[in-house]
Amino acid sequence: MTLAQRALERLQAWPDLTSGPASCGTGRALRSVRDEIVHFHSDRDVDLHLTRRAIQRFHYDLGGSTAIRLVPGSRWVTVHLDCDADVDLLLSLVSIALKAHQTWPSADLPPSGCNFHRVTVLPRNGAGDS
């Protein structure tokens, strides 16, 4: 089982998320009642809709992670899953995203597309050692 499959399986058990096709046309999405929250694009790359305010609030922490890719102006962050700790990070960020979408639902209108094809992720040294 890939890291993305493991993360998807764990997140599908969350009562606030439902699964379906990603609106960008590639992969699976998990959505809340209001918005798409997560897009699983590949075995390692996941886009997460954090909202502009959440990204601004956690920008320093997000930028310090080797697993996170930020795209200027995007409300989505890309999480590259290389190890079990990256899956744990993703789950924590999904929790933040769910809270952000409940707290600031209108702050991100109009919706933006995910980062698929906008991010190139290079493997980290020692990547894949789970």
pLDDT in tens, 80-90: 999 999 999 99
pLDDT in tens, 28-75: 999 998 889 999 999 999 999 998 888 999 989 998 999 999 988 888
Q: Kindly state whether residue 71 falls inside one of the protein's structural domains.
A: yes
Q: Which amino acid is at 45?
A: D
User: Which domain range does residue 43 map to?
Assistant: 3-103
For residue 31, the domain's CATH number is 3.90.1150
pTM confidence score = 0.81
Question: In total, how many domains does the chain have?
Answer: 1
Kindly tell me the sign of the dihedral angle through the C-alpha atoms of 53, 19, 79, 72: negative
CA-wise closest residue to 1 among 73, 57, 84: 84
CA-wise closest residue to 47 among 61, 57, 25: 25
For residues 63-78, one letter each, b for 16 or more C-beta atoms within 10 angstroms of the residue's C-beta and e for the rest, the string is eebebbbbbeebbbbb
Q: Kindly state whether residue 111 falls inside one of the protein's structural domains.
A: no
Q: Which amino acid is at 118?
A: R
